[in-house]
Structure 1
């Protein structure tokens, strides 16, 4: 029988598991370690192996199942509060690589954004894992959120975002263990608003983590595409200018100049992956990435990579407001042409002869010729404009006509004279 805890505050949007478990233990006057050891560790497990530091990365599946039973929160929702719950979207795997360096190659170099694929150097980075800082989890929080209800988001523990999407201000480094706020790393920490470009980037990241999709100008994409786009862009922003042509160099310099930071965040020396950099440098790269996305979307810079079309809107195609012509009335055209030919034949003998020739082209009968000539005269064509007779063509078959008919067989019904 499930023994549910009487007090179990629900997790907040995007909250890290360590932060939520800290809030779960507080009403009972327990530390996180005590709660884990006495009521969360699966039976038969070594309780010393389940620590606060493990919660945000890859806690035991049995511990997550017990948390779901104790709180009524769905197991899937609890697992998404961990890094392991974001595999394979945030990163491909937490396990060992099938081949050394293949993880970085696949995640970062498979696509491109600013430039065509192949411009960057291919660097093997064995043991690399996307977005996980080598120095360990980060401790950052929003000053306004902490003032009301201290909690930490999963994204704030990674070098993935810069701002709080609710208040639009920069996250600030804190003191304390996983899930615990003891104070600010800097004594004079104040609320600092983030730029519009940074806020737009972070809103998309949080949207992807909560819904699994990110809305871009061209279309919505899976959150895995968004994370790889950002990480690819950061790698492009770290490309040495000595590897670039003049146009690409100007683009890179324009992006970094727009951030107010030197190219490559001022790093001089050997290249290192983003995850190995200190947080001050990572901050600059995230700001440059947000700036680059903004410049691409506004058309201020052109991107030529495989992922570039995702950041440009669909081209505007003006609607054709011209009237659509109806189907051709070929019979009316024929009638109009015949009227025009008759009018021309009244004044032009050559036109009259040509008209009579056309009208009698399908018969060699002299009688038909005479009848056609008489009918044209009846339509107002002077008899002087028309030849008197025509000899039949040799070997032609005469067409039998009704000698009593007064209506020419070759005229359209609308033009016949009765």
Structure 2
């Protein structure tokens, strides 16, 4: 099916919506498939995962011409639109993990974690592509249901609009919700500490900055700070050294007797989905403990999470 060169009537993208979600809703409006839409734009078939990660060159501009939606807004509907804030680059590189996760130190002293080369790693993009969804967002919208880019990443636990836990979707269901149409899951609350972390992440995505106790930081710094804490919580015993008991304390306060996750080290994005979510929950608890001085980190940037002070922060400003 061929649709007109200009699309005068199309659904507007929703806040935070993923690119493939919006395209699917446009296709349904024109009684077409996603493949038909891609062909009409002059591009070959592309999987939703690839569109949400990195759309083909020129695709965003062509879509902007057809819809009248700003290029920049469309680009931000895919992970590639968040370089270098959320991710440094979209082309995997062996040194990318070390560059992203070793810039800051919060829980462990600087230089304690060893460099690691991971050839296929991209920040926050899970190796097991999955989707989670907010039951209230689905219940208050109509099919084809829009879904957010954040629902695809191992970055948040909750919905920024309803504050409830994002629920996992069966792989076979993909981006459809026939089971929820029959019986929607009961919204579940999110721990206050995780909700606070997620609210900051949403503010970083929408406003470009985050308020920490001692100063405002750029969104790119926030994403790297929480990714640093995740990596420090998962550090090996040889990396922790004398700080090992401190890391155990953070995990214990989060409700776990020991470090949660696979026995052998791997990046957060490679964890099974359940382990990723529990690690994010522990990260929210860790930030809460730091900000309330219940526990103190040993890294350079730990001071960012301390209560406000009138003392100058020249060192932190230089690191930012």
- With normalisation by structure 2, the TM-score equals 0.87
The CA deviation at 1:262 is: 3.6
Separation in 2, partners of 1:116, 1:154:
34
- Indicate the SS of the match to 1:193: coil
What's the counterpart of residue 127 of structure 2? Answer: 134
Match for residue 111 of structure 1 among 96, 100, 104: 104
Structure 2: 5+ residue runs without aligned partners?
312-320
Aligned equivalents of 2:24, 2:119: Cα separation in 1 = 35
Moved more, 214-223 or 161-170: 214-223
Larger relative CO (CA 8 A, sep 6+): 1 or 2? 2
Q: Which residue of 1 aligns with 2:135?
A: 143
Give 1:1-400 correspondences, 5 Å limit: 3-38=5-40, 40-41=41-42, 45=43, 47-48=44-45, 50-97=46-93, 101-136=94-129, 138-149=130-141, 150-175=145-170, 179-183=175-179, 189-241=185-237, 243-245=239-241, 248-265=243-260, 267-268=262-263, 270-315=264-309
CA separation of 1:254 and 1:222: change in aligned 2, threshold 3 A: same
Q: Label 1:102 to 1:53 Cα distance change in 2 as closer, same or farther (>3 A).
A: closer
Quick check: which has more Rg, 1 or 2? Answer: 1
Displacement of 1:152 in angstroms is: 1.1
Query: CA RMSD of the aligned region, Å?
Result: 2.2
**Gapped runs of 5+ residues in structure 1?**
318-418
In the superposition, the TM-score normalised over structure 1's length comes to: 0.67
Query: Per-residue deviation at 1:253?
Result: 2.1
Q: State how far apart, in whole Å, the 1-side matches of 2:49 and 2:286 are.
A: 35
| Partner SS for 2:52 | coil
Cα separation, 1, equivalents of 2:199 and 2:112: 30
- Paired with 1:158 and 1:264, the residues of 2 have a C-alpha distance of 22
- Give the C-alpha shift of residue 250 in structure 1: 3.2
Paired residues, what number? 302
Partners of 1:310 and 1:31 in 2: how far apart?
A: 49
Map Cα deviations across residues 181-213 of structure 1 (whole Å, 9 max, x no partner): 4446xx884311001111111111111111221
